[in-house]
């Protein structure tokens, strides 16, 4: 099925982007939560990570009927 293929590819790409974002956060030392004193790159990277994670699980939930082995939040 075309939808299964495209969903799987989209989820893999979103997960790869999330992994790269987390690596960048760690490289820059931005692991702590953002505050009012946080720099713009710190805020943007944390927000990007959060939104990518939400997008991943929203797509997975909408496509759960066509996904063989869903990813849990612990595995993400």
pLDDT number for residue 17: 98
Q: Cβ contacts of residue 8 below 8 Å, gap of 6+? A: 67
pTM for this one? 0.86
pLDDT number for residue 3: 85
Residue 4 has pLDDT above 80, yes or no: yes
Residue 76 has pLDDT above 80, yes or no: no
pLDDT number for residue 33: 85
- pLDDT single digits (tens) 12-58: 999 999 999 999 999 999 988 888 888 999 999 999 999 999 999 99
**Burial (0-12, 13-18, 19+ Cβ within 10 Å), 26:** exposed
């Amino acid at each position: 099925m075309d939808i299964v293929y495209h969903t799987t590819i989209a989820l893999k790409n979103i997960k790869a982007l999330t992994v790269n974002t987390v690596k960048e956060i760690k490289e820059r030392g931005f692991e702590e939560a953002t505050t009012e004193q946080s720099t713009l790159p710190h805020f943007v990277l944390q927000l990007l990570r959060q939104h990518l994670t939400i997008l991943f699980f929203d797509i997975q939930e909408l496509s759960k009927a066509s996904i063989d082995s869903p990813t849990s939040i612990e595995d993400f």
